[in-house]
C-alpha cells in the first residue's frame, strides 16, 4: 500500500509538471460550467433533463480526451524505459500501471464532480419547482464509474501500441462508444458505459437510482477486469 501511494504521488507530480493535470481536471469543469451559458432553445423543456444531457455530452468529450492522455502516458512510460528502470529496482510493472490509473482516476473524478456542481446550479436556476438532487447525484456517480472503465480501457490500449497510435485509438474509440451510449443504439443497454447514457436521459428515466447502481457496478467490474488484462500484457511486454 505504501508503494502504491508513493507511485501515485509520483504520477500526480508528473501530471502536474507536464501540465496534463490541467485538461484532465479542467475540461469536465468547463463542460459543467458551460451548461449555464446555453441559450433557452438548447436548454431543453426540462431544466434537469437539459442540463444533465449537455453535461453528459461535455463530460463524454472530456473523458475521451483524458483516455487519450492515459493511453499515451502508459505507452510512453513503457517505450522510454521508465518501467524497465523500475523493474530492475524490484518495482512491479502492475504497481506502476495501477498508480497511473489511480492518478488519472482521482483527477478525472474530481473534475467530473466539480463540473456536475455547475450543471446542477444551471438546472436549479432554470427550474420552476424544486428538484430532487438524489437522481442527479446517482447519475453523476455512475458517470464517474464509466470514466474509470474508460481509463482502464485506455491503459490496455497503451500497453499494446505506440504513444501516438495509442492516443488516437483511445480518443476515437472511447468517443465513439460514449457517443453511442448517449444517444445511439447502446443508450438503453446495461453496459459499463451506461452511466453516461443515464445522465443524458435523466429527465425521462423511470428508475435512475437502480439504473445508476447497476451501471456503476458494471463499470467498476469492467475496470477491474481491464486492469488485470493490462497488467498481464504489460508483464509479458519487452521493455
> What are the pLDDT digits (tens) for 41-77?
555 545 566 677 888 889 999 999 999 999 999 988 8
Average pLDDT over residues 11-22: 89
Please state the pTM of the whole predicted model: 0.89
Across the chain, what does the average pLDDT equal? 83
Residue 150 has pLDDT above 80, yes or no: yes
Residue 234 — very low, low, confident or very high, per pLDDT cuts 50/70/90? confident
Residue 82 has pLDDT above 70, yes or no: no
What percentage of the chain has pLDDT greater than the value 70?
81
- Between the CA of residue 140 and those of 21, 41, 65, 106, 198, what are the distances in Å? 21, 24, 18, 15, 9
Between residues 60 and 88, which one has the greater pLDDT? 60
Residue 111 has pLDDT above 90, yes or no: yes
Three-state secondary structure readout of the chain: CHHHHHHHHHHHHHHHHCCCHHHHHHHHHHHHHHHHHCCHHHHCCCHHHHHHHHHHHHHHHHHHHHHHHHHHHHHHHHHCCHHHHHHHCCCCHHHHHHHHHHHHHHHHHHHHHHHHHHHHHHHHHHCCCCCCHHHHHHHHHHHHHHHHHHHHHHHHHHCCCCHHHHHHHHHHHHHHHHHHHHHCCCCCCCCCCHHHHHHHCHHHCCCHHHHHHHHHHHHHHHHHHHHHHHHHHHHHCCC
Residue 192 has pLDDT above 80, yes or no: no
Between residues 185 and 55, which one has the greater pLDDT? 55
Between residues 163 and 191, which one has the greater pLDDT? 163
What is the pLDDT, as a whole number, of residue 88?
61
Tell me how far apart the alpha carbons of residues 107 and 118 are, in angstroms, rounded to a whole number: 17
Between residues 11 and 192, which one has the greater pLDDT? 11
Between residues 119 and 107, which one has the greater pLDDT? 107
Between residues 185 and 199, which one has the greater pLDDT? 199
Between residues 73 and 80, which one has the greater pLDDT? 73
What is the pLDDT, as a whole number, of residue 103?
95
Average pLDDT over residues 66-93: 78
Average pLDDT over residues 130-152: 88
Task: Name the residue ranges covered by the structural domains of the chain.
Answer: 2-236
Which stretch of 60-64, 142-146, 208-212 has the lowest confidence by average pLDDT?
208-212
Amino acid at each position: 500500500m505504501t508503494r502504491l501511494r508513493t507511485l501515485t504521488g509520483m504520477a500526480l507530480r508528473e501530471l502536474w509538471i507536464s501540465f496534463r493535470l490541467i485538461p484532465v481536471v479542467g475540461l469536465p469543469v468547463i463542460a459543467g460550467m458551460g451548461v449555464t451559458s446555453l441559450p433557452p432553445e438548447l436548454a431543453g423543456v426540462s431544466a434537469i433533463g437539459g442540463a444533465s444531457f449537455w453535461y453528459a455530452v461535455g463530460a463524454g468529450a472530456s473523458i475521451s480526451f483524458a483516455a487519450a492522455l492515459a493511453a499515451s502516458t502508459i505507452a510512453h512510460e513503457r517505450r522510454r524505459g521508465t518501467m524497465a528502470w523500475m523493474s530492475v529496482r524490484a518495482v512491479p510493472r502492475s504497481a506502476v500501471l495501477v498508480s497511473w490509473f489511480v492518478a488519472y482516476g482521482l483527477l478525472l473524478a474530481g473534475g467530473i464532480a466539480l463540473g456536475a456542481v455547475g450543471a446542477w446550479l444551471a438546472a436549479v436556476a432554470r427550474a420552476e419547482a424544486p428538484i430532487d438532487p438524489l437522481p442527479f447525484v446517482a447519475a453523476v456517480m455512475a458517470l464517474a464509474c464509466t470514466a474509470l472503465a474508460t481509463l482502464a480501457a485506455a491503459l490496455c490500449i497503451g500497453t499494446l501500441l505506440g504513444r501516438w497510435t495509442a492516443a488516437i485509438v483511445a480518443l476515437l474509440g472511447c468517443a465513439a462508444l460514449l457517443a453511442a451510449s448517449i444517444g445511439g443504439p447502446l443508450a438503453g443497454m446495461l453496459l459499463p458505459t451506461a452511466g453516461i447514457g443515464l445522465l443524458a436521459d435523466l429527465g425521462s428515466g423511470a428508475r435512475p437510482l437502480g439504473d445508476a447502481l447497476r451501471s456503476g457496478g458494471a463499470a467498476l467490474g469492467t475496470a477491474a477486469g481491464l486492469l488485470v488484462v493490462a497488467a498481464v500484457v504489460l508483464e509479458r511486454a519487452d521493455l
